Structure 1
Amino acid sequence: MPNLVMVMPYRAFIGKARSEGFRISAIWDPAVADRLYGAHATRYLQDVRAQADDFRLVDFTDHAAYTEAIRAAVREFEADHVWHTGGEDTMMPAYEVAAELGKAVNPPASVALLNDKLAMRTLLRDKGISSVRFATARCWQDVAGLLADFTLPVVVKPTTLAGSRGTFLLTDPADLPAWGDTLASYRYDGPLLVEEYLRGPEFSVETLTVRGVHHVIGVTRKLLGPLPHFVELGHIFPEPDTAETRAVAALAIELLDAVGYSCGPAHTEVILTGDGPALVESQARLGGDKIPQVAALATGFDMERGIFAALAGQAPRLDTPRKVGHIAYLSLPIGTLRSVSGLDEVRGLDFVDTLSFPFAAGDRIPETVNSKTRHGFVILTGADAAQVRARADQVRELIKVEVDTAVPAGQVVA
């Protein structure tokens, strides 16, 4: 039975790894768990500890302690592989140590090229793949001096933040200081990208790579919310198999080949412009926003378990999708929630799999500016894209909220 060190393994991943024959050493940071799970963090880590064969806690921001924890786990657990299954911000040290110890499933450079938006853009330019005009800035104050080479609007974004944080459609240079304030709120002071604005429907390509062969699990249609923040209102999986979606998927595979990705999941975002598909970005992980759960409902294929089958060298076995899955995000008035009704009625619908409504009476409903400030979601299924969108609208109509939209004392409205 192979031994696997997993950094930041989500609870469900451990059981799925064990079902593929792995013994697990789990490494977590309590501060990260607190950020993700709040009051439930302690219980969550207790559950991880109970399921894993070995369990370690370390501060991921302490580079020396973090990397030594991985080395110790590999040594004491006699690990065959190291795999980071969490967010991009702590991936690179794990993969660098894994490569140092001969336990890496991917070259660190391939992970860096996928996760770093500037590195990816530079590689694509150098290889002549899906060229998109871009420029780099050291700080937001430098962006104005780059705009003469572009036609407004342009997309401005940090090179390493995920979840749409800091990505902004800039139509007026006068908006730059406000964008700078947003970056500061994320404590981001790294390099920035200025990119031409790509117009067209947006997709993501979900893949699993096994021994260097990239298997397309499906193409997801992304439903974007109002600009300028590029926050998704939902995802529909799978997009029908057409010449256009095949071209979208082929471009994602070309990127994975170019970076030398050899094993595991990737989530690659592509816009279908009037001149053909163009790459937006990619990550060396499963797609967020519950896309694997939506895909499993549509196809019966468990991408999370598929990660560990891929590590064992087993290619995914895919059947024709049985239905279409949809995650639709709720959009509520901004203010203080007074009451809500209709939640039980929604949960009773036979096409609804999951309803998440994260607010209780008295909670403040924020403006949606990134993936963390959305207002809950429903996951449902239907026969086709038109039906799931209609069903999502039905759910939204059933949920009735009373919101006090008055601004709290002392709060300034921008």
Structure 2
Amino acid sequence: MHVLMIECNPNGMAGIANALELGHDVTLVSVDPDFYLAISPLTAGAYAHPNCTVVKSEAAFDIEALVALAEALHAEHPVHGVTTYSEYHTVHTAAVAQALGLPGMSVDGARNARHKHRTRLALDGNGVPQPRFRHVADPAEVEAAVREIGFPCVAKPSDGTASLHVLHLKDERDLREYLADLEGVADYGRGVVRIPDIVIEQFVPGELISVESCVLGPGEIVNLGLTDRPLSGFPHFIEMGATYFTGHDLQEELFALTTKALEGLGVDFGFIHTEFLLGPDGPVLCEVNGRLIGGIVPSLMQITSGVDAYLEVIRQALGERPELPFPGETTAGGHWFGAPLDGVVEDIAFDAVETQPGFHSALAYKKPGTRVSRLSKSNFDWIGHVIFTGADRAEVNKRCEAALDHIDLRMKLAVAR
């Protein structure tokens, strides 16, 4: 079978590698294939595989041009499934699948999940609790929207991801600085152009938790489990850990709200990641992501369930019924870490971490000699992670947090000028 992957993400290279091992042909279309070489240790082997084709194309983020490219690839070597692990490319993937007549999410459903203002507007008044919000299509209207919602509030680009440019605004100074910073952001890198739409939302205090689901087809939504998402302090919202588990007191309510939200958005296919804030008055929808959850969580899913979610995404795209990674008896979780200051990585060692109870694995993302930024603005500031297992969520989180004190991070600090 021939799988067309529209971009990827660094951890998603595992899915490509596994598909190649199973004998599938994989074509990766990317604006910058070298990006994955620099990030994932699996990339070089995948690219060298005789069944892997890498197409470097500036068309990866232009839907019309991408569809034309996909149709040309399909004519040359018939494609049996099209998918992505990239949040930025869910709409593009849906459009290509539709054009080729292959399994995939409806384009409208993908757009409703991908663009946060469309999510808010589509679900407004349908029974899914949301924060008060205002959608603005012109940055000049942001200030008025903030005045209407009031401080404190949250500002977020409608098409962002990884908490990039999402900010807690507490006063006029924060607002001025945010608008000045955002004015200079025309894209997110690698050919991904930013749309002007911004959402201003009421700030809802509370724990961030997500529901992981798989939509097998229209009207067939299966909610799998929950992922906790501890955050760093304000003003940014950086996810610092994740535990994949089952058994939360609000689980049934969260599952029911997820089902209602996905139905309301027209999300009708694929693995889906839906985030909620557990506010003072109950769960409030944060956002919906029309793809498999990112980061280390698919690995956590595999540890506890024995099911490789990356591979199941590909199997579903090929028209097969995926095996579903429900949480098992063992709970798995991990924590990310970053640099305390700007500088250059000299070494990251986990020798003392590996001796801790429940240790599963650890990974440094940055090689010695790599310049890194202080962990301060988004998930892109991570420089590594640790993963532990335990009997339950509380034990896993305790083990992960304790392990952070045993990481040996050596850096050469940047000199202020």
Q: Aligning the two structures, in what range does the TM-score lie when normalised by the shorter sequence?
A: 0.7 to 0.9
Secondary structure, aligned partner of 2:104: coil
Q: Percent identity?
A: 20
Task: Find the counterpart in structure 2 of residue 178 from structure 1.
Answer: 177
Check 1:80–1:36 CA distance in 2 against 1; reply closer, same or farther (3 A cut). closer
Check 1:327–1:182 CA distance in 2 against 1; reply closer, same or farther (3 A cut). farther
Secondary structure, aligned partner of 1:329: strand
- The answer on whether the counterparts of 2:217 and 2:269 sit within 8 Å (CA) in structure 1 is yes
User: Residue type matched to 1:71 in 2?
Assistant: E
Matched, 1:260 2:266: yes
- The answer on whether the counterparts of 1:152 and 1:170 sit within 8 Å (CA) in structure 2 is yes
Task: Find the counterpart in structure 1 of residue 232 from structure 2.
Answer: 225
Task: Find the counterpart in structure 2 of residue 201 from structure 1.
Answer: 207
Which is worse superposed, 140-149 or 196-205? 140-149
Task: Find the counterpart in structure 2 of residue 86 from structure 1.
Answer: 85
Which of 312, 315, 330 is matched with 1:323 structurally?
A: 330
**Structure 1 position 148, deviation (Å):** 2.9
User: Residue type matched to 1:163 in 2?
Assistant: A
Q: TM-score with structure 1 length normalisation?
A: 0.86
User: Residue type matched to 1:24 in 2?
Assistant: D
Task: Find the counterpart in structure 2 of residue 14 from structure 1.
Answer: 16
Matched, 1:394 2:402: yes
Q: TM-score with structure 2 length normalisation?
A: 0.86
- The answer on whether the counterparts of 2:302 and 2:325 sit within 8 Å (CA) in structure 1 is no
**Structure 1 position 283, deviation (Å):** 1.0
Matched, 1:347 2:354: yes
Matched, 1:283 2:289: yes
* Alpha-carbon distance in 2 for matches of 1:391, 1:104: 41
Task: Find the counterpart in structure 2 of residue 27 from structure 1.
Answer: 28
Matched, 1:67 2:54: no
**Structure 1 position 145, deviation (Å):** 1.5
**Structure 1 position 186, deviation (Å):** 6.1
- The answer on whether the counterparts of 1:206 and 1:267 sit within 8 Å (CA) in structure 2 is yes
Which of 360, 374, 381 is matched with 2:389 structurally?
A: 381
| Residues 315-354 of structure 1: per-residue CA shift (max 9 Å, x gap) | 5356661211111122442143586575223235462222
Unpaired segments of 5 or more residues in structure 2?
188-193
User: Residue type matched to 1:228 in 2?
Assistant: P
Secondary structure, aligned partner of 1:32: coil
- The answer on whether the counterparts of 1:16 and 1:308 sit within 8 Å (CA) in structure 2 is no
Unpaired segments of 5 or more residues in structure 1?
none
How many aligned positions are there?
A: 403
Aligned-residue RMSD, C-alpha: 2.9
- The answer on whether the counterparts of 1:324 and 1:388 sit within 8 Å (CA) in structure 2 is yes
Secondary structure, aligned partner of 1:207: strand
Which residues of 2 match residues 355-366 of structure 1 at below 5 A? Answer: 355-359=362-366, 363-366=370-373
Secondary structure, aligned partner of 1:391: helix
**Structure 1 position 3, deviation (Å):** 4.4
Query: Runs of 4+ in structure 1 displaced over 6 angstroms?
Result: none
* Alpha-carbon distance in 1 for matches of 2:371, 2:13: 29
* Alpha-carbon distance in 2 for matches of 1:229, 1:23: 41
* Alpha-carbon distance in 2 for matches of 1:271, 1:76: 47
* Alpha-carbon distance in 2 for matches of 1:66, 1:363: 33
**Structure 1 position 169, deviation (Å):** 0.5
User: Residue type matched to 2:66 in 1?
Assistant: Y
* Alpha-carbon distance in 2 for matches of 1:337, 1:349: 28
- The answer on whether the counterparts of 1:198 and 1:273 sit within 8 Å (CA) in structure 2 is yes
**Structure 1 position 68, deviation (Å):** 1.9
**Structure 1 position 19, deviation (Å):** 7.6
Secondary structure, aligned partner of 1:235: strand
Task: Find the counterpart in structure 2 of residue 151 from structure 1.
Answer: 150
**Structure 1 position 57, deviation (Å):** 3.5
Task: Find the counterpart in structure 1 of residue 191 from structure 2.
Answer: none
Matched, 1:214 2:221: yes
* Alpha-carbon distance in 1 for matches of 2:347, 2:48: 37
Between 1 and 2, higher relative CO (CA 8 Å, sep ≥ 6) is seen in 2
**Structure 1 position 239, deviation (Å):** 4.3
- The answer on whether the counterparts of 2:308 and 2:325 sit within 8 Å (CA) in structure 1 is no
Check 1:32–1:217 CA distance in 2 against 1; reply closer, same or farther (3 A cut). farther
| Residues 223-266 of structure 1: per-residue CA shift (max 9 Å, x gap) | 11111111111011114243x12211221111111222222110
Secondary structure, aligned partner of 1:224: coil
Secondary structure, aligned partner of 2:33: helix
